[in-house]
Structure 1
Amino acid sequence: MNSELNPALDLTEQVHELLRAAPSGISEYQLIQQLKQRHSTHIPHLDLTDKLVLFRTHFLLFNALYLLRDRLWQTEAAHLQISPLCVQLLPWQPGSRELAEHDPLRDYYLNLQHLRDTDEADVEKLLASFWTRMQGGDEKRAALELFELDSEQALNLATIKLRYRQLVSQHHPDRGGSTSRLQSINLAMEILQRYYG
């Protein structure tokens, strides 16, 4: 791939080009770094340690990702899985209801008013809320819910690994499951290993 992106392409097309070159998926951070390295004019080329710059860069990227997902879905070209840890183009599957269901994140990122109206104080509040949830154990609770395990029961890594193998077997794409579900299971396992490992 060229070290330069075509400046005539909008951000959605530039992101699509990068995703096609990463069939196994790519993280949000890697996407931002590649856009910067290839001199995309559509994102801020400022230090991401500035929280407002980080928010604006993240917002612009996710706006482009949701626009791209909508377009790919409408043309039945592919399905775009969007998460900060892994953005991945997947084969189109007829009958996918994901876009028909209400998605508050999609609504948020497609409304550019949020980008215009969010200032540094708002970003500070968003970050504080995020860290409060993380420290409050929401990450662990969400992983346990995905594994259908009760945090009240005595849990150990052996029990969690057994449940992990059951879920992988049940949701593997080779057995009719979805790649996105399998990736969620893998992420939940990584989280639970940190708590019970």
Structure 2
Amino acid sequence: MNSLFDPALDLLEQLLTLLRQSPDGLSEHQLIQQLKSGHCTHIPNLPLRDRLVLFRTHFLVFNALYRLRDRLWAEQSAHLDISPLLIRLMPYRDGAQGLVEHDALRAYYLDEAHLRDTSEADVEHLLQSFWTRMHHGEEQQAALELFGLDARTDYPAIRLRYRQLVSQHHPDRGGSTTRLQSINKAMEILDRYYSPR
């Protein structure tokens, strides 16, 4: 079968090497920057200011990450935690970290049609729907997703994760002001739901 990703098989190896070199994990931004600085030919070497370029780069990386996670799980060699703010290799544990029966994000990123058929207007709509969720009823879930946490978390874990993300994404350390604003907004929301007051 001819696939958009057949020529990019070694992208998985590049990702695996970078993640092995960073046992504490990397953010998506750090991973993309390291791929670019290593002259990776499998992702666009264009400025990420353009939203469509950003989407396509993000999609290619996450497609490769989910394929890598599936491979590592099949080999029983490691588990790959995947979120935009932290991507990290973890030890393999039989059964405990098995793939869920239906992982909607995995299904999305493994469907090549989303890369091929998504326009700039679609990207704008995706961003708008995220912020709509943040403001209408699903704000807690969206904030937890941004932090890479689930609803079973507790307030100390949220505070710790917040400090980690602020440190990691602060503009003084090469991070994005927009990303930092999103992290701060998510913390305000989680404060309302989890703070012991």
**Counterpart residue identity of residue 76, structure 2:** E
Q: What secondary structure is seen at the aligned counterpart in 2 of 1:80?
A: strand
**Counterpart residue identity of residue 164, structure 1:** Y
Which residues of structure 1 form unaligned runs of 5+?
1-6, 149-162, 169-183
Judge conservation of contact 2:8–2:42 (CA < 8 Å) in 1: no
Corresponding residue of 1:69: 69
User: How far does residue 25 in structure 1 lie from its aligned partner after superposition?
Assistant: 0.8
**Counterpart residue identity of residue 151, structure 2:** L
TM-score by length of 1: 0.70
User: How far does residue 8 in structure 1 lie from its aligned partner after superposition?
Assistant: 8.8
Q: Distance in 2 between matches of 1:101 and 1:188?
A: 30
- The range that moved more, 40-49 or 132-141, is 132-141
Q: Distance in 2 between matches of 1:94 and 1:185?
A: 30
Q: 1:84 to 1:94 in 2, by over 3 A?
A: same
Aligned: 1:134 with 2:134: yes
Q: Distance in 1 between matches of 2:162 and 2:33?
A: 26
Map of 1:31-180 to 2, 5 A cutoff?
31-96=31-96, 98-136=98-136, 138-140=138-140, 143=144, 146=151, 164-165=155-156
Q: Distance in 2 between matches of 1:11 and 1:185?
A: 34
Q: Distance in 2 between matches of 1:126 and 1:55?
A: 10
Corresponding residue of 2:20: 20
**Counterpart residue identity of residue 27, structure 1:** S
1:66-99 per-residue CA deviation (whole Å, 9 max, x = no partner) reads: 0000000000000000000100000000113531
Q: Distance in 2 between matches of 1:57 and 1:80?
A: 19
Which residues of structure 2 form unaligned runs of 5+?
1-6, 145-149, 164-182
Show structure 1 runs of 4+ deviating over 6 A.
none
Judge conservation of contact 1:66–1:109 (CA < 8 Å) in 2: yes
Provide the aligned C-alpha RMSD in A.
2.9
Q: 1:125 to 1:193 in 2, by over 3 A?
A: closer
Bigger radius of gyration: 1
TM-score by length of 2: 0.70
Judge conservation of contact 2:52–2:123 (CA < 8 Å) in 1: yes
Identity of aligned residues (%): 57
Q: Distance in 2 between matches of 1:113 and 1:27?
A: 25
1:115-150 per-residue CA deviation (whole Å, 9 max, x = no partner) reads: 00111111111111112222446343565x8258xx
Judge conservation of contact 1:146–1:185 (CA < 8 Å) in 2: no
